[in-house]
Amino acid sequence: MKKDLEKEKQLAAKEAVKYLSDNKIIGLGTGSTIYYAIKEIAELVKNGLQIQAVPTSDKTQELAISLGIPIIDINTIDTIDITIDGADEFTKDLTLIKGGGGALLREKIVASMTKEEIIIADSSKYVGKLGKFKLPIEVIPFASKYVHSKIRDLQGEGNIRFIQNRPFLTDEGNYIIDVDFGFITNPPELSHALTGIEGVVGHGLFINLAPKVINDDIIVFEK
């Protein structure tokens, strides 16, 4: 039987928002799955839930404001209580690839400030090993050629992401290089290598940042 992935996203979103409570600061991720969570949160706010939200992208912020979710500036707080975000791939040990929506840098900053990160994803995002989805790497435009060459040294093949015949720009004004490393056998080692390249401001490997994934209805993977 063919799976209804959109229904899975909706069900995962409904389950994730059960973890929210009054007077919390909530991180809002970016992407098609998180759209459903933001809609659910907006209904809760309409019905009296008292929260403030930190969006991980301009697009998420616009959606949240349009639905009446209160926004707080990330630079006025020290921690975030709960963040709900998505993933492009995740494994059983809860290592993720993120960044398909282009918000990986802000998403990683928000995740790093968060006490409890909840990832919601449909069943197609669960993999035995990361790497079928190309790894997004955010780079400053000035260093894009240099970073490209260093990525090749790491046996990666990538291209700058284009939208409508122009380089895609992140909310921070950077490029994204989507890189095929094949299956990633050692994510921590690759993460360390990428972080050491001058001009890389972030990459889509999320390691030890997500203790909970809600997937395929209400199946929960936890550390």
Pair 125, 177: CB distance under 8 Å: no
Query: Quick check: helix, strand or coil at residue 135?
Result: strand
Please count the residues of the chain: 223
- Residue of 15, 89, 107, 117 marked active site: 107
Query: Quick check: helix, strand or coil at residue 165?
Result: coil
Quote the CA–CA distance of 147 and 136 in Å, as a whole number: 13
107 flagged as catalytic: yes
Quote the CA–CA distance of 156 and 173 in Å, as a whole number: 23
Quote the CA–CA distance of 111 and 36 in Å, as a whole number: 19
Q: Which of 222, 219, 221, 214 is nearest to 37 (CA)?
A: 214
Which positions are annotated as active-site residues? 107
